[in-house]
Chains A and B, each alone.
Chain A
Protein backbone atom coordinates (compact mmCIF):
# COMPACT_ATOMS: atom_id res chain seq x y z
CA UNK A 1 0.00 0.00 0.00
CA UNK A 2 1.25 3.47 -0.86
CA UNK A 3 0.00 6.84 0.38
CA UNK A 4 -1.19 6.40 3.97
CA UNK A 5 -4.94 6.99 4.43
CA UNK A 6 -5.43 7.44 0.73
CA UNK A 7 -3.34 4.40 -0.03
CA UNK A 8 -3.49 2.88 -3.47
CA UNK A 9 -3.27 -0.90 -3.38
CA UNK A 10 -0.49 -1.96 -5.71
CA UNK A 11 0.32 -5.40 -6.93
CA UNK A 12 4.01 -6.19 -7.26
CA UNK A 13 5.62 -9.10 -9.09
CA UNK A 14 7.17 -11.86 -7.04
CA UNK A 15 10.60 -11.30 -5.52
CA UNK A 16 10.94 -14.89 -4.36
CA UNK A 17 14.18 -16.66 -5.16
CA UNK A 18 12.40 -19.04 -7.52
CA UNK A 19 10.59 -16.33 -9.44
CA UNK A 20 12.90 -13.34 -9.43
CA UNK A 21 16.45 -14.66 -9.49
CA UNK A 22 16.18 -16.37 -12.89
CA UNK A 23 14.82 -13.12 -14.33
CA UNK A 24 17.45 -11.01 -12.58
CA UNK A 25 20.24 -13.32 -13.76
CA UNK A 26 18.97 -13.00 -17.31
CA UNK A 27 18.71 -9.20 -17.04
CA UNK A 28 22.23 -9.01 -15.59
CA UNK A 29 23.55 -11.13 -18.44
CA UNK A 30 21.69 -9.42 -21.27
CA UNK A 31 21.22 -5.85 -20.10
CA UNK A 32 23.57 -5.27 -17.18
CA UNK A 33 26.90 -4.67 -18.88
CA UNK A 34 28.78 -1.62 -17.65
CA UNK A 35 28.18 0.17 -20.95
CA UNK A 36 24.40 -0.38 -20.71
CA UNK A 37 22.21 -0.71 -17.64
CA UNK A 38 25.09 -1.51 -15.33
CA UNK A 39 25.38 2.23 -14.97
CA UNK A 40 23.97 4.36 -12.17
CA UNK A 41 22.99 7.05 -14.66
CA UNK A 42 20.30 4.87 -16.24
CA UNK A 43 16.69 5.01 -15.17
CA UNK A 44 16.76 1.24 -15.05
CA UNK A 45 19.86 0.19 -13.15
CA UNK A 46 20.86 -3.46 -13.08
CA UNK A 47 23.28 -4.79 -10.53
CA UNK A 48 25.02 -8.14 -10.77
CA UNK A 49 28.26 -10.00 -11.22
CA UNK A 50 28.37 -9.28 -14.96
CA UNK A 51 28.45 -5.54 -14.41
CA UNK A 52 27.72 -3.02 -11.70
CA UNK A 53 28.36 -4.27 -8.18
CA UNK A 54 26.49 -3.19 -5.08
CA UNK A 55 29.21 -3.70 -2.50
CA UNK A 56 32.13 -1.27 -2.65
CA UNK A 57 34.46 -4.23 -2.22
CA UNK A 58 33.17 -6.26 -5.17
CA UNK A 59 34.35 -5.88 -8.75
CA UNK A 60 32.60 -6.81 -12.01
CA UNK A 61 33.15 -10.35 -13.20
CA UNK A 62 31.26 -13.55 -12.53
CA UNK A 63 33.30 -16.37 -11.05
CA UNK A 64 32.93 -20.10 -10.89
CA UNK A 65 33.25 -22.28 -7.84
CA UNK A 66 31.30 -22.90 -4.65
CA UNK A 67 32.38 -19.72 -2.89
CA UNK A 68 32.46 -17.53 -5.94
CA UNK A 69 31.43 -13.91 -5.29
CA UNK A 70 28.64 -13.83 -7.84
CA UNK A 71 25.42 -11.81 -7.79
CA UNK A 72 24.52 -11.08 -4.18
CA UNK A 73 21.18 -10.81 -2.43
CA UNK A 74 21.70 -7.05 -2.15
CA UNK A 75 22.12 -6.92 -5.91
CA UNK A 76 19.00 -8.97 -6.57
CA UNK A 77 17.06 -6.64 -4.25
CA UNK A 78 18.46 -3.47 -5.77
CA UNK A 79 17.67 -4.54 -9.32
CA UNK A 80 14.15 -5.54 -8.29
CA UNK A 81 13.52 -2.14 -6.73
CA UNK A 82 14.94 -0.36 -9.73
CA UNK A 83 12.77 -2.27 -12.17
CA UNK A 84 9.55 -2.28 -10.17
CA UNK A 85 10.04 1.36 -9.24
CA UNK A 86 10.14 2.55 -12.84
CA UNK A 87 6.37 2.48 -13.35
CA UNK A 88 4.76 1.00 -10.24
CA UNK A 89 1.20 1.90 -11.20
CA UNK A 90 1.58 0.43 -14.67
CA UNK A 91 3.32 -2.61 -13.21
CA UNK A 92 0.36 -3.11 -10.90
CA UNK A 93 -2.03 -2.72 -13.80
CA UNK A 94 -0.17 -5.38 -15.77
CA UNK A 95 -0.22 -7.76 -12.83
CA UNK A 96 -3.91 -7.10 -12.23
CA UNK A 97 -4.48 -8.23 -15.77
CA UNK A 98 -2.58 -11.45 -15.18
CA UNK A 99 0.40 -10.26 -17.18
CA UNK A 100 -1.56 -10.37 -20.43
CA UNK A 101 -0.45 -6.89 -21.53
CA UNK A 102 3.24 -6.74 -20.65
CA UNK A 103 3.96 -4.11 -23.28
CA UNK A 104 2.15 -1.54 -21.21
CA UNK A 105 5.51 -1.42 -19.45
CA UNK A 106 8.13 0.80 -21.01
CA UNK A 107 10.95 -1.62 -20.28
CA UNK A 108 9.19 -4.37 -22.21
CA UNK A 109 8.48 -2.08 -25.15
CA UNK A 110 12.09 -0.93 -25.22
CA UNK A 111 13.46 -4.46 -25.05
CA UNK A 112 11.14 -5.46 -27.89
CA UNK A 113 12.16 -2.43 -29.90
CA UNK A 114 8.64 -1.06 -29.91
CA UNK A 115 9.97 2.12 -28.35
CA UNK A 116 13.28 3.86 -28.99
CA UNK A 117 16.03 2.00 -27.17
CA UNK A 118 19.74 2.71 -27.52
CA UNK A 119 20.41 -0.99 -27.26
CA UNK A 120 17.98 -1.71 -30.08
CA UNK A 121 15.37 -4.47 -30.30
CA UNK A 122 16.80 -7.24 -28.19
CA UNK A 123 13.92 -9.62 -27.76
CA UNK A 124 11.18 -10.97 -29.96
CA UNK A 125 7.73 -11.67 -28.51
CA UNK A 126 7.61 -15.36 -27.80
CA UNK A 127 11.33 -16.03 -27.68
CA UNK A 128 13.05 -17.38 -24.56
CA UNK A 129 13.99 -13.92 -23.34
CA UNK A 130 10.45 -12.67 -23.75
CA UNK A 131 8.99 -15.73 -22.04
CA UNK A 132 11.42 -15.27 -19.15
CA UNK A 133 10.14 -11.75 -18.51
CA UNK A 134 6.48 -12.18 -19.32
CA UNK A 135 6.11 -15.39 -17.32
CA UNK A 136 7.42 -13.51 -14.29
CA UNK A 137 4.88 -10.75 -14.90
CA UNK A 138 2.19 -13.40 -15.26
CA UNK A 139 3.03 -14.80 -11.83
CA UNK A 140 5.04 -17.94 -12.51
CA UNK A 141 8.55 -17.55 -13.87
CA UNK A 142 9.63 -19.98 -16.54
CA UNK A 143 13.16 -20.54 -15.24
CA UNK A 144 14.01 -22.84 -18.13
CA UNK A 145 13.33 -20.00 -20.56
CA UNK A 146 15.54 -17.68 -18.51
CA UNK A 147 18.40 -20.19 -18.58
CA UNK A 148 17.94 -20.67 -22.30
CA UNK A 149 17.91 -16.91 -22.79
CA UNK A 150 21.25 -16.63 -21.00
CA UNK A 151 22.78 -19.47 -22.98
CA UNK A 152 21.76 -18.15 -26.37
CA UNK A 153 22.34 -14.41 -26.13
CA UNK A 154 25.35 -12.12 -25.79
Chain B
Protein backbone atom coordinates (compact mmCIF):
# COMPACT_ATOMS: atom_id res chain seq x y z
CA UNK B 1 0.00 0.00 0.00
CA UNK B 2 1.32 3.38 -0.90
CA UNK B 3 1.52 5.71 2.11
CA UNK B 4 0.68 9.35 1.60
CA UNK B 5 1.95 12.51 3.22
CA UNK B 6 -0.35 11.99 6.21
CA UNK B 7 1.35 8.74 7.19
CA UNK B 8 4.78 10.21 6.59
CA UNK B 9 3.84 13.16 8.80
CA UNK B 10 2.61 10.88 11.56
CA UNK B 11 5.80 8.85 11.37
CA UNK B 12 8.03 11.93 11.55
CA UNK B 13 6.01 13.42 14.41
CA UNK B 14 6.20 10.16 16.35
CA UNK B 15 9.93 9.88 15.76
CA UNK B 16 10.52 13.46 16.86
CA UNK B 17 8.43 12.94 19.99
CA UNK B 18 10.40 9.84 20.90
CA UNK B 19 13.72 11.49 20.15
CA UNK B 20 12.87 14.56 22.23
CA UNK B 21 12.32 12.35 25.29
CA UNK B 22 16.00 11.41 25.41
CA UNK B 23 18.15 13.67 27.54
CA UNK B 24 21.56 13.38 25.87
CA UNK B 25 23.39 14.55 28.98
CA UNK B 26 21.69 11.95 31.16
CA UNK B 27 22.18 9.29 28.52
CA UNK B 28 25.89 10.04 28.29
CA UNK B 29 26.20 9.77 32.07
CA UNK B 30 24.47 6.40 31.98
CA UNK B 31 26.65 5.21 29.10
CA UNK B 32 29.79 6.33 30.93
CA UNK B 33 29.10 3.78 33.65
CA UNK B 34 29.84 0.99 31.22
CA UNK B 35 28.47 -2.56 31.12
CA UNK B 36 27.71 -4.81 34.04
CA UNK B 37 30.67 -6.61 35.58
CA UNK B 38 31.14 -10.16 34.36
CA UNK B 39 29.04 -12.62 36.31
CA UNK B 40 27.00 -9.99 38.12
CA UNK B 41 23.41 -9.47 37.07
CA UNK B 42 21.49 -6.25 37.66
CA UNK B 43 20.28 -6.31 41.24
CA UNK B 44 21.11 -5.20 44.76
CA UNK B 45 24.76 -6.19 44.56
CA UNK B 46 25.59 -4.84 41.12
CA UNK B 47 27.86 -1.92 40.29
CA UNK B 48 29.33 -1.24 43.77
CA UNK B 49 31.06 2.11 44.00
CA UNK B 50 29.16 3.67 41.11
CA UNK B 51 26.78 6.65 41.48
CA UNK B 52 23.59 4.62 41.88
CA UNK B 53 21.14 7.45 41.25
CA UNK B 54 22.49 8.12 37.78
CA UNK B 55 20.20 5.27 36.76
CA UNK B 56 18.00 5.00 39.86
CA UNK B 57 17.33 8.71 40.34
CA UNK B 58 14.03 8.91 38.53
CA UNK B 59 15.24 9.49 34.99
CA UNK B 60 15.88 5.80 34.33
CA UNK B 61 16.78 3.33 33.15
CA UNK B 62 17.10 1.79 36.61
CA UNK B 63 14.09 0.63 38.58
CA UNK B 64 13.25 1.16 41.43
CA UNK B 65 13.91 4.83 42.07
CA UNK B 66 16.12 5.58 45.04
CA UNK B 67 16.13 8.43 47.55
CA UNK B 68 19.78 7.80 48.28
CA UNK B 69 22.17 4.91 47.81
CA UNK B 70 25.81 4.01 47.78
CA UNK B 71 28.55 1.62 48.71
CA UNK B 72 30.50 1.42 51.95
CA UNK B 73 33.89 -0.23 52.20
CA UNK B 74 35.79 -1.47 55.21
CA UNK B 75 38.93 0.54 54.65
CA UNK B 76 40.02 3.86 53.26
CA UNK B 77 41.73 4.50 49.94
CA UNK B 78 45.25 3.21 49.50
CA UNK B 79 47.32 4.21 46.50
CA UNK B 80 47.75 1.31 44.12
CA UNK B 81 44.79 -0.61 45.44
CA UNK B 82 41.91 -1.09 43.04
CA UNK B 83 39.73 -3.53 44.97
CA UNK B 84 38.40 -3.03 48.47
CA UNK B 85 36.53 -5.30 50.85
CA UNK B 86 32.93 -4.19 51.30
CA UNK B 87 31.43 -3.38 54.66
CA UNK B 88 28.81 -6.11 55.01
CA UNK B 89 25.95 -5.55 57.45
CA UNK B 90 26.90 -1.95 58.13
CA UNK B 91 24.21 0.36 59.44
CA UNK B 92 23.76 3.61 57.54
CA UNK B 93 21.84 5.93 59.81
CA UNK B 94 20.12 8.71 57.90
CA UNK B 95 18.46 11.81 59.31
CA UNK B 96 16.35 14.17 57.24
CA UNK B 97 15.69 17.88 57.61
CA UNK B 98 12.69 17.19 59.87
CA UNK B 99 14.73 14.97 62.16
CA UNK B 100 13.09 11.80 60.83
CA UNK B 101 15.42 8.83 60.61
CA UNK B 102 15.88 5.78 58.44
CA UNK B 103 18.40 3.00 58.82
CA UNK B 104 19.69 1.07 55.84
CA UNK B 105 21.97 -1.95 55.95
CA UNK B 106 24.81 -2.64 53.56
CA UNK B 107 24.63 -5.92 51.67
CA UNK B 108 27.25 -8.42 50.51
CA UNK B 109 28.65 -5.91 48.03
CA UNK B 110 28.66 -3.08 50.57
CA UNK B 111 25.73 -1.51 48.75
CA UNK B 112 22.79 0.10 50.49
CA UNK B 113 19.79 1.80 48.97
CA UNK B 114 16.63 3.52 50.10
CA UNK B 115 13.77 3.51 47.62
CA UNK B 116 11.15 6.19 47.27
CA UNK B 117 8.64 3.64 48.53
CA UNK B 118 10.73 3.08 51.67
CA UNK B 119 11.13 6.68 52.77
CA UNK B 120 10.16 10.19 51.72
CA UNK B 121 12.67 12.43 53.44
CA UNK B 122 12.95 16.17 53.26
CA UNK B 123 16.36 17.26 52.06
CA UNK B 124 18.98 18.02 53.19
CA UNK B 125 19.79 14.69 54.75
CA UNK B 126 22.09 14.62 57.69
CA UNK B 127 21.02 17.65 59.57
CA UNK B 128 18.14 19.83 60.61
CA UNK B 129 16.74 23.23 59.63
CA UNK B 130 17.11 26.41 61.58
CA UNK B 131 13.65 26.44 63.07
CA UNK B 132 13.24 22.75 63.82
CA UNK B 133 14.52 22.98 67.36
CA UNK B 134 16.34 19.71 66.79
CA UNK B 135 20.05 19.51 67.45
CA UNK B 136 22.29 19.18 64.42
CA UNK B 137 23.02 15.56 63.60
CA UNK B 138 25.56 14.15 61.18
CA UNK B 139 24.99 11.10 59.05
CA UNK B 140 26.37 8.05 60.73
CA UNK B 141 27.79 4.94 59.18
CA UNK B 142 28.32 2.25 61.73
CA UNK B 143 28.86 -1.48 61.99
CA UNK B 144 25.68 -3.32 62.84
CA UNK B 145 25.44 -4.68 66.34
CA UNK B 146 25.12 -8.18 64.95
CA UNK B 147 28.73 -7.91 63.81
CA UNK B 148 29.85 -7.05 67.30
CA UNK B 149 31.32 -3.74 66.27
CA UNK B 150 30.64 -0.26 67.48
CA UNK B 151 32.85 1.91 65.29
CA UNK B 152 31.00 4.87 63.86
CA UNK B 153 32.18 7.20 61.15
CA UNK B 154 30.13 10.40 61.02
CA UNK B 155 29.68 12.37 57.84
CA UNK B 156 30.15 16.02 58.67
CA UNK B 157 28.38 17.64 55.73
CA UNK B 158 24.82 17.20 54.63
CA UNK B 159 23.46 15.66 51.44
CA UNK B 160 21.83 18.79 50.17
CA UNK B 161 19.48 17.45 47.53
CA UNK B 162 18.12 14.42 45.79
CA UNK B 163 18.54 12.99 42.32
CA UNK B 164 21.99 11.97 41.22
CA UNK B 165 23.49 14.19 43.91
CA UNK B 166 22.21 11.78 46.56
CA UNK B 167 24.51 9.02 45.33
CA UNK B 168 27.43 8.55 47.68
CA UNK B 169 29.72 8.26 44.69
CA UNK B 170 28.67 11.61 43.29
CA UNK B 171 31.02 13.20 45.84
CA UNK B 172 32.90 10.16 47.20
CA UNK B 173 35.08 8.72 44.48
CA UNK B 174 38.70 7.63 44.25
CA UNK B 175 41.35 8.82 44.36
CA UNK B 176 40.85 11.39 47.13
CA UNK B 177 41.72 14.90 46.00
CA UNK B 178 40.46 18.48 46.02
CA UNK B 179 37.05 17.47 44.67
CA UNK B 180 36.51 14.20 46.55
CA UNK B 181 37.26 12.77 49.99
CA UNK B 182 37.53 9.32 48.43
CA UNK B 183 35.18 6.36 48.76
CA UNK B 184 33.01 5.88 51.85
CA UNK B 185 34.59 3.63 54.42
CA UNK B 186 33.97 2.55 57.96
CA UNK B 187 37.36 2.56 59.66
Contact = CB atoms under 8 A, between A and B. Distances in A.
Question: Which among A38, A54, A60 has the greatest number of chain B C-beta atoms within 10 A?
Answer: A60
Given A35-B165, A50-B157, A154-B158, A56 B178 contact: yes
Nearest to B176: A59
Contacts of B144: none
B64 to A, nearest CB: 22
Contact of B136 (A53, A124, A154): A154
A94 B97 CA distance: 33
Contacts, number: 73
A52 B161 contact: no
B98 to A, nearest CB: 12
Interface string A37-57: 011100000000011111110
Main secondary structure of the interface of B (DSSP, over half): loop
Nearest to B172: A34
B73 to A, nearest CB: 16
B97 A34 contact: no
A140 interface: no
B124 A154 contact: yes
Contacts of B187: none
Contact of A35 (B130, B160, B176): B160
Contacts of B159: 33, 35
Interface of B: 97, 124, 126-130, 136, 156-161, 165-166, 170-171, 176-182
A62 interface: yes
B165 A153 contact: no
Interface of A: 33-36, 38-40, 50-56, 58-62, 118-119, 124, 127-129, 151-154
Give me the 5 closest cross-chain CB pairs, A-B, nearest first.
A154-B127, A154-B158, A53-B178, A34-B171, A35-B165
B165 A56 contact: no
Contacts of B160: 33, 35-36, 119, 154
8 contacts: A34-B179, A34-B180, A38-B179, A53-B178, A59-B182, A61-B181, A154-B124, A154-B126
Contact of B97 (A55, A128, A154): A154
A107 to B, nearest CB: 16
A121 B19 CA distance: 35
